[in-house]
Amino acid sequence: MAAHHHHHEPQGAELSTAARATLEKSGEQWTTMRAQIFETLAGFDKPASAYDIAEAVSKAAGRRVAANSVYRILDLFVGANLARRVESSNAYIANAHPDCLHDCIFLVCDSCGQTTHIDNDRITSGVRSAAEAAGFSPVRPVIEVRGKCADCD
């Protein structure tokens, strides 16, 4: 790994607090709905689709929450780096350290769906420079690896 860089990986309530701080710092409100969606997303152990989240929040809150509300809020979260979208799964995952910005790499297990995330700045900056070398202005690298996790292997 390139630059080490120790994350203290907050979980549960502590993670929500960190997420809230980040979101508010960007001028957005931390509403009840947003908190519920964030906590639900963080509670999944693998990437969740907007519909998974809508269903879980509906059940937990005892009232119907529509998918489009979930999408709005997920988009906001992705923009604020509180969550990431896993493109090859059409699903979202909470960001364990919203305060620090990385291009990240997801390892997605095709058999159990577990998705882990690694940081490797040497690789991601290599991808960015290769794109630049081709006359392209990179905005968002999408680097995901489909395969088998250690447990399923």
Q: Applying CB under 8 A, which residues contact its own copies? A: 87-88, 105, 107, 109-110, 116, 118, 120, 122-123, 126-128, 130-131, 134-150, 153
Binding to DNA in span 76-105, by CB under 7 A: 90-91
- Other beta carbons within 10 angstroms of residue 121's beta carbon come to 13
Cross-strand partners of 85: 92
Separation CA 22–CA 107 (nearest Å): 26
Binding track over 14-53 against DNA, x by CB under 7 A: --------------xx-xxxx--------------xxxx-
**What minimum distance in Å lies between the beta carbon of 96 and DNA?**
21
| Nearest CB to DNA, comparing residues 56 and 119 | 56
Residue type at 99? D
**What minimum distance in Å lies between the beta carbon of 122 and its own copies?**
7
Burial status of residue 93 (CB atoms within 10 A of its CB: 0-12, 13-18, 19 or more): buried
Separation CA 76–CA 122 (nearest Å): 28
Burial status of residue 138 (CB atoms within 10 A of its CB: 0-12, 13-18, 19 or more): middle
| Nearest CB to DNA, comparing residues 42 and 73 | 73
**What minimum distance in Å lies between the beta carbon of 107 and DNA?**
19
Binding residues for DNA, rule: CB under 7 A, are 28-29, 31-34, 49-52, 63-69, 71-73, 75, 90-91
